[in-house]
Amino acid sequence: MIREYGVHLKGGIIAQRDADYCTIRLRLPAGILDTARMLGIAKIADTYGSGTVHLTTRQTIEIPDIHHLDLEEVTDALQANGTPVGAETDEVVNIIACPGTARCKYANIDSISLAQRVDEKVFGKQVPVKVRISISACPYACTSPLFNEIGVIGRIEPLREPGLCTGCGTCAEYCKECAIIIKNGVSVLDSEKCIMCGVCIHSCPFDLLKSKHLHSLITVGGRRGRHPQMGRELVAVETEDEAVEIIDRIVAWVRRRAWSGRLLADQLDDLQFEQFKADIISDLEK
């Protein structure tokens, strides 16, 4: 009985309208799932549920219509399948990420690797408010990182070395921000318009544009829902190790300082976010 009570308390166990049944949300960092585990999930859904699954907006899977008396068996089966019960309530929930440098031609960072490392570090940690983490490998922001409690955006600052540009105009043509013009046969960048997506670097047919600053911008306090709000910029870091460390520190800060009943976006000022930001930057500069 003690173990069964513990199963019911897991954040990934979600009560349905019919109180005898639950939906189970799985832990699938970055939504990565091999076919063997997919088959295992299908078998579990057929055996214990209604034979259906739900693909969520957080790149995970839910198995609906699980009877509460079967929860212990199902959680054991999911654990053995390598797809354990996930998180949903006041926890760090499933980390989402775009395909990253493995597949996307616009990507600047390996978002999948970062998501998997962040998952190992902070997934499921209990915090006063739900913490959603989203990683996008470029400023196109396909995973909406700015509208999550913690967001990561891979950015790259272009470097133009004098005397090398041929003035072909390819970079200007590809720049969707109209941040590049050709002046006197040379491409000129308007840094105020540039969002550091790196498209100009990738598009240069002569490979003359270089990366000046490849980094991950980390944001805090984004919110979706009825009243969406963009997160605030915290810091830019150059390595994956630094990104994991900073995210771990954000989660620890939220765990110590935040309180339940309000979204993180609504209490950043009360939590002295600007001082936290100054401390983070100061520590990185040491």
Q: What is the pLDDT of residue 4?
A: 42
pTM of the predicted model as reported, rounded to 2 decimal places: 0.93
Q: Cα–Cα distance between 181 and 279 in angstroms, integer? A: 39
* 161-208 shares the fold of 96-156+213-285: no
Q: What is the pLDDT of residue 2?
A: 37
Q: Domain 2-81, CATH 3.60.15.10 — does that match?
A: no
Mean pLDDT of 39-55: 98
Is residue 195 pLDDT above 80, yes or no? yes
- Among 1-15, 68-82, 179-193, 203-217, the minimum mean pLDDT is found in 1-15
Mean pLDDT of 222-227: 93
Domain ranges of the chain: 2-81, 96-156+213-285, 161-208
In whole angstroms, what separates CA 91 from the centre of its chain? 15
Mean pLDDT of 262-283: 95
Strand partners, 91: 126
What CATH number is given for 96-156+213-285 in this structure?
A: 3.30.413.10
How many angstroms separate the first and last alpha carbons of the chain?
Answer: 52
Write the class of the CATH domain 161-208: alpha beta
Name the residue type at position 209. L
Is residue 206 pLDDT above 70, yes or no? yes
pLDDT in tens, 107-119: 999 999 999 999 9
pLDDT in tens, 141-166: 999 999 999 999 999 999 887 778 88
Q: Cα–Cα distance between 234 and 274 in angstroms, integer? A: 9
Rounded to 5°, the CA angle 224-228-233 comes to 90
Is residue 90 pLDDT above 80, yes or no? yes
